[in-house]
Amino acid sequence: MQINVKIKRYNPEADARPYWAEYKLEARGSDRVLDVINHLKWEVDGTLAFRRSCAHGICGSDAMLINGVNRLACKVLVKDLGERITIEPIRGLPVLKDLIVDMEPFFDAYTAVMPFFINDDPPPPGERYQSAEDRAVFDETTKCILCAACTTSCPVFWTNGRYLGPAAIVNAHRFIFDSRDQGAAERLGVLNQANGLWRCRTAYNCTEACPRDIPITRAIEEVKRALLWRGA
Amino acid sequence: MNRAHKFDVIVVGAGGAGLMAARYAAQHPGVSVAVISKLYPTRSHTGAAQGGVGAALGNVSEDHPEWHAFDTIKGGDYLTDQDVAERFAVEVVEAVYELEHMGLPFNRTPEGKIAQRKFGGHTREFGKSAVERACYAADRTGHMILQTLYQQSIKDRVNFFNEFHVLDMIMEDGACHGVVAYELATGDIHTFHAKATIIATGGNGRMFRVTSNAHALTGDLMSIAYRRGLPIEDPEFYQFHPTGLYKLGVLLTEGARGEGAILRNGDGERFMERYAPTIKDLAPRDMVSRAMYLEIREGRGAGPDKDYIHLDLTHIDAHIVETRLPDITEFSRIYLGVDPIKELVPIQPTAHYAMGGIPTTIDTQVISDGRNTIVPGLYAAGEVACASIHGANRLGTNSLGDLIVFGRRAGIEAAKFAASESFTDLPAGVQDRTRELVDTVRKGKRKERVSHLRRELQDTMQDYASVFRTQEFLSKQVGILRDLQERYRGVGVEDEGHKFNTELLEAIELGFLLDNAEQLVHAALNRQESRGAHSREDFKERDDATWLKHTLIYKDGDGVRIDYKPVTLGKYEPKPRTY
C-alpha cells in the first residue's frame, strides 16, 4: 500500500527550528514503523537520524510520538496506523537531531530513586529465598526497558521537567516491593520530595503509553500508599 | 569536552560481559575504570536473551557441574576445551548466586529457590534424559541480567561514555594501550589511554538476512582486532537458532520447548523423534536447525510455499504460557498476528550466535597465535571472545553463563594487570587510523549505497554460508565478498554533519561486517569436515584425525592466512554425537 509519512525533522547544524518533512512510499501492512523509517534512511534521505537497535521491543531505543501516541517504532505495524503516519520525537526532553532526544535528564531521574538492590546483610552461600507470591508482587515493574515512553507522555512532566516521572517511580516500585530489599525508606524519602511522587495527577497517559504493558498508574498508586502507611 | 582520557581499565561494550567486567575491575582498590559503549548500556543485546542461564544448582532435580561440563563439551562436538568447560560449570553456579545477591528477580520454586527449567542439550547423567538446569526470570532472563548489572553499576558509580563508537585499538609492540572512539553526539574523536582494555562488544549476526541480532551487532571489534593483525578463532562455527519468527528472525526462546512446546512439520509430524529419539525437541540447536532445513528440503515444510516449520504450544496450559513465556507470546501476536495459545507459530532458523571470536586464555587474556602468546593489556569476554568454551556449537543458556563467568574473570584479571603496570607513553599519531577511516567514508564518492551492499552481503551469506555449506557455494561466496569489498570503497554518505551522524557509522559498520563475513567464509571453506554448526554437504563426517583443532584466521594483505591451535582434551573421549 502507498503510505504518507510526516516526520518532524531538525538538524541542529542546518535548521533554525524544526520543520515537517513529508514522504510518500510503498509499505506492507506487516511492516514495522521502524522498517518504514529505515527504508527512508537507507533509500531516500541518509541524514534522517533516530536511535534503534533490537527491532523487537526489548532494548527501548526507539520510543517516538507516532500518530499522537508514544510507542516504540519497532513494535507498531503500519496496518495498525493506516496510510497516514506522523512521527515526532518524544516530548519533554531536548531534541538533539530529528527523532533523537537528550536522554540524560531521564536517566538522572532514574538514578535519583536509587534503582539498585540494597541489602547489607551478608548473603547466604546459596540464594536468598523468596516465595513465588512475594516475587509476584513486583513482577510487572521488572519489565521496564527505560524507553521513556511513559515519562514523556506525562502532562506533568511536560510542564515540569524536574518531576521524577513515571519511569523513575516504576523502578523505585520494583525495589520497594521486593521482599529481599532493605532500601524502601530511603527511596520513599526521595519520592516524598517536592518533585517526587505527589506530582502525579493520575492522567493514565503513562499506562497507555507503556510498550511493556506495565500497569504504571497502579504501581504509582501502590507507592503512594506505601508512603502514607509506612511513612518516609 | 576533554578528548584525551586515561583510565587504568577500559571496558568496551556495556552488555552483560562488559558490565560484569567493570564491576569486578572497580572492586580492585585504586583501579579506575570506564565503560565505553556505542549504545546506552540498557540497549545492549544481552537484554534480548530470554530463556535462562544454565547452572547446576539442582533446585528442581539432581544436578552436578560435572554433568553440565560434559553437556557443554558434547554440545560443542568436542571442539570445546575441556579444562575451560569444567571451570565454567563450577563458576557459573557461583555467578548465578551472585546475580541473585545483586537482586536479580528470578522466578521461584514452591520452596522459594531459584526456578529452573529444561533446555536443549542439558542432560542428567551424561545424556540419559533432559534436566532442569536453566535458571530463569520468565522469558526475559537476559533483560533481568542486563538491568541488574546496570543497576549495580549505578550503585558502584561506574564511569560511562555512552554513544561512543570505538573505531580502533591502540597497539604498539604487540601490546594494547587503549582505544580510540568517535563520539556520536559531536563527531569528536577521543583517545582512551588504558593499562588494560577489555573487549566485550558482542556478536556479528547482522551479516545474515534472517537474524535474531540487533542492528548494532556488526562485529566491530572482531574486525578491528583482525585489521590490527590479531587472529579470530573458529569463525566458521556460527549458530542458527531453530526458532526464529518466520521471515523476521525474532527469537522465540528454546525455553518454550523446555516448557513442552513441540516442533511440527507441514504434515503435523513431531519430526524431531526421528533425529534425536532420546531428547527429541530438546536436542542441541545445530541438530534441530539442520533437521528443520531437511524437512523443508524434502517437501515437508508448512505454509503455502512449504518453507517454514511450526512451533506448537497449543497443548500447554495457557496460564503457563502467559506467565512463563509472556514476551514470546506477545512477539508472535504482534508481528505475525498468531496467538500461540490457540495456533501454531510459523518459525525458521535464525542467525543467532558466533561461537568463535577473539581468542583468549581461560583467564580472558587475548592471545595472538596457536602457542597462546599473550597480548599484554588486552582482554576479551562474552560473544566477541572465544575462550574455546562453546566449541563447534553453543548450548542454549551458556551465552548468559559465558557473560557472567568470563566477564567476571576479565574484570579481575584486567584490574590485577593494571595495578601492577604503569602507563607507557602513547605512540605518535594515535588517532591517525581512526581519522583516516572516518574521512574516507565521509568524503566517499557515493557510487554505492551502503544499504544495497549490506543487503547483498546478508542475502548471499544466508544463501551460501549458513546452515548447510559446500565447496561450490563457499568458493562462490569468497568471490562475492571480494567484489563487495571492492565496491565498498565506493560508498559515501549524504550526511555531512558532525552531530549524530548515524549514516556515517552505519557505513563504517558495514566495513566491519564485511571483514567478519570474510573470516567466516574462508574458515568454513578451509575446514573439510562437518562438526557442530559447521555442516559441509561435501564432507559429511566429523574428522577428528585431521580437524580436532581450532582455526585461527589472520588478515594477510588482501587475503587471509590460516593457522591452528590444539583443542584441550580431558576425560571425555570424542565420541559420535547422538541424542
Using CA atoms, how far residue B112 sits from B56, B61, B93, B280, B414, in Å, is 17, 15, 17, 31, 36
Determine contact: B494 vs chain A, CB below 8 A: yes
Residues B100, A145: C-beta atoms closer than 8 Å: no
Q: Say if the Cβ atoms of A56 and B250 lie within 8 Å.
A: yes
Residue type, B472: E
Out of A53, A119, A130, whose CB is closest to B214?
Answer: A53
Task: Look at B101 and A128 and tell me if their CB atoms are within 8 Å.
Answer: yes
CA distance A70 to A64: 6
pLDDT of residue A12: 97
Strands B309-312 and A19-26: unpaired
Residues 6+ apart with CB under 8 A from B2: none
Over chain B, what is the mean pLDDT? 97
Q: For residue B474, what pLDDT is reported? A: 98
Domains, chain A, in order of start with CATH, read: 2-101 (3.10.20.30), 104-230 (1.10.1060.10)
Residues 6+ apart with CB under 8 A from A72: A57, A60, A62, A63, A64, A147, A149, A211
A135 CB neighbours in chain B (<8 A) are 105-108
pLDDT digits (tens, 9 = 90+) for B115-147: 999 999 999 999 999 999 999 999 999 999 999
Closest-CA residue to B79 (of B402, B524, B395, B531) = B531
CA distance B227 to chain A (A): 25
Q: Is B285 a catalytic residue?
A: yes
Q: How far apart are CA B505 and CA B491, in angstroms?
A: 12
Q: Tally helices (H) and strands (E) across chain A.
A: 8, 7
User: What burial letters (b/e) apply to A177-211, b meaning 16+ CB within 10 Å?
Assistant: bbebbebbeebbebbeeebbbebbeeeebbbebbb
> Which residue of chain B is at minimal alpha-carbon distance from A114?
B155
What residue of A is the nearest CA neighbor of B104?
Answer: A117
* Closest chain B residue by Cα to residue A98: B500
Whole-number Cα distances in Å, B423 to A213, B167, B198, B199, B418: 50, 22, 16, 19, 9
Residue B238 has phi, psi (to 5 degrees) of: -120, 130
Full-model pTM: 0.98
Grid coordinates belonging to B1: 569536552
- For B548, phi then psi, to 5°, come to -80, 70
Interacting residues of B194 by C-beta distance below 8 A, sequence separation 6+ = B6, B7, B8, B9, B10, B176, B177, B178, B179, B377, B418
Rounded CA gap, A26 and A48, in Å? 18
* Amino acid identity at B571: K
Helices and strands in chain B, H and E counts: 16, 22
Q: Mean of the pLDDT values across residues A28-46?
A: 97
With CA atoms as reference, report the closest residue to B253 among B316, B356, B329.
B329
- Which of B37, B93, B108 to mutate: most A Cβ within 10 Å? B108
Amino acid at B474: L
Residue recorded with cell 549514516: B503
- What's B248's DSSP letter? T
Cβ contacts below 8 Å, chain A against chain B, sum to 152
pLDDT at A212 > cutoff 80: yes
Residues of A in contact with B107 (CB under 8 A): 132, 135
Rounded Cα distance between B166 and B183, Å, is 9
Name the phi and psi angles at B232, rounded to 5.
-115, 135
All structural domains of chain B: 244-349 (3.90.700.10), 432-532 (1.20.58.100)
Residue A232, pLDDT > 60, answer no
Q: What kind and span of H or E run contains A2?
A: strand A2-9
- What does the alpha-carbon distance between residue B361 and residue B368 come to, in Å, rounded to a whole number? 11
**Cα–Cα dist B385/B366, whole Å:** 8
- Could you say which residues from 213 to 252 on chain B have a Cβ atom under 8 Å away from some Cβ of chain A? 214-216, 248, 250
Closest in A51, A75, A142 to B334, CB measured: A75
Chain B residues whose CB is inside 8 A of the A125 CB are 97
Q: Is B129 on the interface with A (CB under 8 A)?
A: no
Closest partner CB to A58 (pick from B47, B154, B500): B47
| Distances from the Cα of A199 to the Cα of A164, A202, A224, B327, angstroms | 9, 9, 11, 32
Q: Is the pLDDT of residue A231 over 90?
A: no
Contact yes or no for B48 and A138 at CB 8 A: no
Q: What residue has cell string 605518535?
A: B428
Sign for the CA dihedral angle at A150, A151, A157, A163 comes to positive
pLDDT digit string (tens) for A58-111? Answer: 999 999 999 999 999 999 999 999 999 999 999 999 999 999 999 999 999 999
Residue B183 pLDDT: 98
- The residue type at B540: K
Which grid coordinates are listed for B5?
Answer: 582520557
Q: CA–CA distance from B380 to each of B509, B513, B570 (Å)?
A: 20, 19, 24
Please, which pLDDT band fits residue B204 given cuts at 50, 70 and 90? very high
| Calpha distance B407→B202 (Å, rounded) | 12
Choosing from B23, B133, B209, B285, the catalytic residue is: B285
Q: What is the dihedral of CA B406, B164, A62, A30, to 10 degrees?
A: -70
Residue to substitute from A142, A173, A174, A214, interface B, most B β-carbons within 10 A: A142
pLDDT band at residue B1, thresholds of 50, 70 and 90?
low
pLDDT in tens, B335-371: 999 999 999 999 999 999 999 999 999 999 999 999 9
Q: Which residue is closest to B498 within chain A, CA to CA? A: A13
Please name the residue of chain B whose CA is at the shortest distance from the CA of residue A61.
B43
Mean residue pLDDT across chain A: 97
Q: Which among A12, A53, A116 has CB closest to B39?
A: A53
With a pLDDT cut of 90, the percent of chain B lying above it is 99
Cβ-Cβ contacts under 8 Å for A186 (sequence gap 6 or more): A114, A118
B2 band by pLDDT with thresholds 50, 70 and 90: confident
Tell whether B114 is within 8 A of chain A (Cβ): yes
Q: Does A75 contact B185 at a Cβ distance shorter than 8 Å?
A: no
Judged by a CB distance cut-off of 8 A, whether residue B97 touches chain A is: yes
* Per-residue pLDDT tens digits for B476-526: 999 999 999 999 999 999 999 999 999 999 999 999 999 999 999 999 999
What ipTM was assigned to the predicted interfaces of this complex?
0.98
Instruction: Tally Cβ neighbours within 10 Å of residue B508.
Output: 24
Contact residues, chain B, for A116 at CB < 8 Å: 103, 151-152, 154-155
Closest CA in chain B for residue A131: B112
Q: What is the mean pLDDT of residues B396-412?
A: 98
For the stretch B324-340, pLDDT in tens is 999 999 999 999 999 99
Nearest CA in chain A to B455: A42
Assess B94–A contact: CB distance below 8 Å, yes or no.
no
Whether the predicted pLDDT of A230 surpasses 90:
no
Distance separating the N- and C-terminal Cα atoms of chain A? 56
**pLDDT, average across residues A197-208:** 97
Query: Among A36, A48, A42, A4, which Cα is nearest to A23's?
Result: A4
Q: What is the pLDDT of residues B410-461, one digit of tens each?
A: 999 999 999 999 999 999 999 999 999 999 999 999 999 999 999 999 999 9
| pLDDT tens-digit series, residues B241-276 | 999 999 999 999 999 999 999 999 999 999 999 999
Q: Given an 8 Å threshold on Cβ–Cβ distance, is A127 in contact with B107?
A: no
Q: Is residue A221 classed exposed, middle or buried when 0-12, 13-18 and 19+ CB atoms within 10 A define those classes?
A: middle
Question: Which residue of B100, B162, B448 to mutate against A (max A Cβ within 10 Å)?
Answer: B100
Residue with cell 549524504: B494
Residue A145 with chain B: CB contacts under 8 Å: 42, 47, 143
B501 phi, psi to nearest 5 deg: -85, 75
